[in-house]
Amino acid sequence: MSETQIEWTDATWNPVAGCSIVSAGCTHCYAMEMARRLEAMGVAKYAGLTRRGGGRTIWNGVVREDEEALAIPHRWRKARKIFVNSMSDLFHERVSDGFILKVWQVMRETPRHHYQILTKRPERMAVFVSTLVEDVLPNVWLGTSIENAEVVKRIDHLRAVPAAIRFLSFEPLIGPVGGVDLSGIHWAIVGGESGRSARPIREEWIDEIHAQCEEHETAFFFKQWGTWGKDNKRRSKRANGREYRGKTWDEMPAAFSTGA
């Protein structure tokens, strides 16, 4: 998989497949159902990664490192923003340090691309990058996911990571996060959940994040309302759209925008 409809990136790259649920934001992860579909299509990489339970598809904890996938970014001649592991988490405990270092080497060898690594395990990311990565690569963005106030401490771990760009994904935003401290954070993505079991998003939760972005000069990207609109009514995510406060917010990190 490469081309993507994710609004904030250009392509996805999946050197790892499979994951496990760690918090409430994982409950309706699109990647679980996608992995099941890919297995049904005969894609061996995704075979045996999920199980069925409670009428839905769930990760079973099997994680697979894909050595062949490491060559993919080298073949992309045109510069791209690349979301690393849309179908997994690079810092999952079952991904070896050695394999992560191989991913880092690919990113070092392809400076034309900008790599966006998003994890729900920023504790491991902070330790790994601080102790095993010798240099801060200007084309590597490191981020963590925050779905509600219960996991805001992930931001402190992210802040400890040496990185050219640090970013947060408040998606799916399923509860208020409160007055989060965005110091040292360069970019924030906000979005509601989509799908038939989607949990609501509230405009006041977005307002809290947007206010902090303004205070800390953090770039703000509003991805979508999702299944629940600004008026708290349920409809298709396309019908609800992407407008917040009467406009579309597609801000990118200043370092990326200026080419610094």
Q: Is the pLDDT score of 172 beyond 60?
A: yes
Are 14 and 88 in contact by the 8 Å Cβ rule? The answer is: yes
Are 182 and 146 in contact by the 8 Å Cβ rule? The answer is: no
With bands split at pLDDT 50, 70 and 90, how would you rate the model's confidence at 38?
very high
Query: Residue range 42-53: average pLDDT?
Result: 96
CA atoms within 13 A on the CB side of 148: 12
Q: What is the pLDDT of residues 192-243, one digit of tens each?
A: 999 999 999 999 999 999 999 999 999 999 999 999 999 999 999 999 999 9
User: Which tokens in the block code for residue 113?
Assistant: 């691309």
Distance CA 82, CA 141 (A): 10
Q: What is the pLDDT of residues 86-128, one digit of tens each?
A: 999 999 999 999 999 999 999 999 999 999 999 999 999 999 9
